[in-house]
Amino acid sequence: MVLPVFAGDSPTRVGYAYDRDTDNLLYTENHYETFNDGVLLRSEVIYKDIDENIIAKKTADFSTSQFMPEFSLENIKTGHKEKTRYTENKYEVIFSESQAETQKEALIKYKEDSISDAGFDNFIIAHWDELKAGKKFKREFLVPSMLDFMNFRIYQETVVDKNGRTLRLINIEPNSFFVRVIAGTLKLYYDNNKPALRIFEGVSNMRDYKGDNFNVVIKYKNVEQQTLTANK
């Protein structure tokens, strides 16, 4: 895996991922984001274990869509890989759970207003005022392991005091009750007055050696939040 060289650059934000059950630190996310007039163009994330060893890298290209970026994720410890790219009017998805598993590929139809990977954050930013007003959204989310989309709903649950801050809790969860019981709900805590993500609770995109996703609480520090313009 070829890793980027950030010549003296500092990450735009850092996430500290803790095990949801034990509260032990599992890894950190170091985000390096490129903006143009407030619009996110590219993101590179370097994942490190508790000893500061690089364990994974993810790149995401938002130049075509703010909500459906092309992205590539590779975990050098487990062999877990995810990759997407546009091919004409189709969306190519490549997935491998671990080094021992056979790589799966599919060419699926692109769906308007759908969301993939970190595009969820841009979606919430773009629809911040509507979510604050109580509007609920239903959107198709790409699930790389399924090589397909699944219907999710996005809505504000409440405003809470958490870790000494007043935060807005935005939920992202499968629309199906039965899938929701298995997969759970992603809980995203944003600043009360602006769409700056502070805490993520739920299933992570990082996996253990068995191929199971970590269930985490990620606390973001040193966030340099910029107001993004939705660029569908």
In a domain, 90, yes or no: yes
The number of beta carbons lying within 10 Å of the beta carbon of residue 107 is 11
Using a CB cutoff of 8 Å and minimum separation of 24, what contacts does 173-178 make? 174/150, 175/138, 175/151, 176/151
In a domain, 6, yes or no: no
Residues 140-172 have pLDDT tens digits of: 999 999 999 999 999 999 999 988 889 999 999
The tally of domains found in the chain comes to 1
Domain containing residue 202: 13-221
Greater confidence (100 vs 188) lies with 188
In a domain, 3, yes or no: no
Average the pLDDT over 93-101 and give the result.
88
DSSP bridge partners of 74: 57, 81
User: Residue 174 burial by CB count (10 A; 0-12/13-18/19+): exposed, middle or buried?
Assistant: buried
DSSP bridge partners of 7: none
Are 153 and 146 in contact, with CB atoms under 8 Å apart? no
In a domain, 231, yes or no: no
In a domain, 1, yes or no: no
In a domain, 230, yes or no: no
Confidence of residue 228 (pLDDT cuts 50, 70, 90): very low
Confidence of residue 7 (pLDDT cuts 50, 70, 90): very low
Tallying the residues shown for the chain, one arrives at 232
In a domain, 2, yes or no: no
Average the pLDDT over 61-88 and give the result.
93
Greater confidence (16 vs 207) lies with 16
Are 62 and 229 in contact, with CB atoms under 8 Å apart? no
Per-residue model confidence (pLDDT) at position 177? 65
In a domain, 5, yes or no: no
